[in-house]
Amino acid sequence: MAEQTDQPRSFRGHVLVLLAAVMWSTSGLFAKAPWFDGWPEESRGMMLAFWRSAFAAVILVPLIRRPCFRWPMIPMVLCFAVMVASFMSAMVYGPAANAIWFQYLAPAWVLIFGVSLGIESITRSDGWMIGCCIYAVLMMLAFEMNRGSNVFASAMGILSGLSFAGVVLSMRALRGVDPAWLITLNHSATALILLPWIWNTEGSVSTGSYFALAMFGILQMSVPYVLFAKGLKTVTGPEASVISLIEPVLVPAWVYIAWSQHSSYESPRWWTIVGGSIICISILVRYLPAAVRSRRNVSTTQNISTEPVAFSETDSTQASITKTDTT
């Protein structure tokens, strides 16, 4: 009877994680929208980052249960602000596919930084993933520089991945802290840090554009966070990492569907598709076997126990780091 009860819960958990990843993938749809063309291009990324974080923080406040202060929160919020601002700038200046794939290099940067700081160990599969990711980055950068455009956008995309790694490493020291408090703190601090750009930016957008910004913060960040958190109750970290790969695949698809007829649309180049595929495959090779093993372990536990399965804090934290605190 317990197995019959757990199977629907597990299925719902996977659906919730998948739905969260799909909603996260709409970042490019909003960032590339012509609704915000009234803002200068050089500051548009900052404006989008500010308003999305501000609306997301307001919605997430009621979910906070245990607010507190820890010193690692300082580098966490600084890295988060840099991550969001650089990611939005990469979206504005270049193809959405470039921005999301460069940010998805974060797992490789986390391992590199972690090993350098002596807080992570590296396996052969980790080394293989890092090597493939670095090759993909160098290839994409080489073609971008040869083409003579989007170099700044590529640099911003890489910076977003590097700063995301800083967020991850900071959060690893905050595993016992209320996750709703952490994500709300990140967005609130981002809005405060970016506030000077709001006062100094010229140009304006329509009132309806602010409604779109509210949806940007709510539908692309706040609601997916809630769905993802609920899904983690029955989905392991490796499984969530694999499912979340649907996000970078869908980002350019949504942009194409919504804005391919707009004059500002820029389609992904072939080297972006190849480089993104290399990153995607390397992450799958790294995490898919672990996801399969986790699912088998869960099935075995369900068969020999009449109690609901409880996943470890490590699995939950790793999965929540995968995407909960990104753009």
Segment 230-286, tens digit of pLDDT: 887 887 766 777 888 889 889 999 998 888 887 777 778 888 889 889 988 988 888
Q: Where are the domains of the chain?
A: 2-323
Q: Is the dihedral of CA 268, 225, 211, 205 positive or negative?
A: negative
Q: How far apart are CA 297 and CA 324, in angstroms?
A: 25
- Per-residue model confidence (pLDDT) at position 169: 87
pTM recorded for the entire structure: 0.81
Instruction: Identify which has the larger pLDDT, 150 or 79.
Output: 79
Average pLDDT rounded to a whole number, residues 161-174: 88
* Residue 5 CB partners (closer than 8 Å, separation 6+): 308
Highest-pLDDT range among 50-64, 106-120, 162-176, 226-240: 50-64
